[in-house]
Amino acid sequence: MSDFKGSPTALIADVDCTTEGQPLCEKYGVQGYPTIKYGDVTDLKDYQGGRSYADLKKFAEENLGPTCGPDDLELCDAGTRKKVEEYMQLDVTKLKEKIDTIVMKFEKDIPVMKKVIGYQKAKK
């Protein structure tokens, strides 16, 4: 882990979910141990790869780093950059409302679409 010590872009941390780290583990959905999470702290993902240091280091070098977002607009393609810039003009309340509307639409539409797919497959 000394390879990443002092890194401005990488954090490697060990949390004991059975003691003082329990609230943090609950917040990020850690249910089994050991669990490895990676990514943006606002959208952590479960790591499913090898557990050796070499495996982890290779994964980090190939998959992790800055991504398109408000802090790294230069990493965005033109369409995504435009969207990020538009969203940055909205306040938190408006953004949350927009998210809630989209989520509600998906939650309603996706089950219907899946039924139609099943229906169409059954017709063939």
- Whether pLDDT at 2 is above 80: no
Lookup result for tokens 């409302």:
97
Question: What would the pLDDT profile of 43-90 be if each residue is shown by its tens digit?
Answer: 889 999 999 989 988 998 888 878 889 989 999 999 999 999 999 999
Tell me the pLDDT band of 18, cut-offs 50, 70 and 90. confident
- Whether pLDDT at 1 is above 80: no
- Whether pLDDT at 3 is above 80: no
Higher pLDDT, 97 or 42: 97
Say if CB 68 and CB 76 are below 8 A apart: yes
pLDDT score of 86: 97
Say if CB 112 and CB 98 are below 8 A apart: no
Minimum mean pLDDT range among 56-60, 107-111, 114-118:
56-60
Q: What is the pTM of this model?
A: 0.53
**For the chain, how are helix, strand and coil distributed in percent, rounded to 5?**
55, 5, 45
Say if CB 59 and CB 47 are below 8 A apart: yes
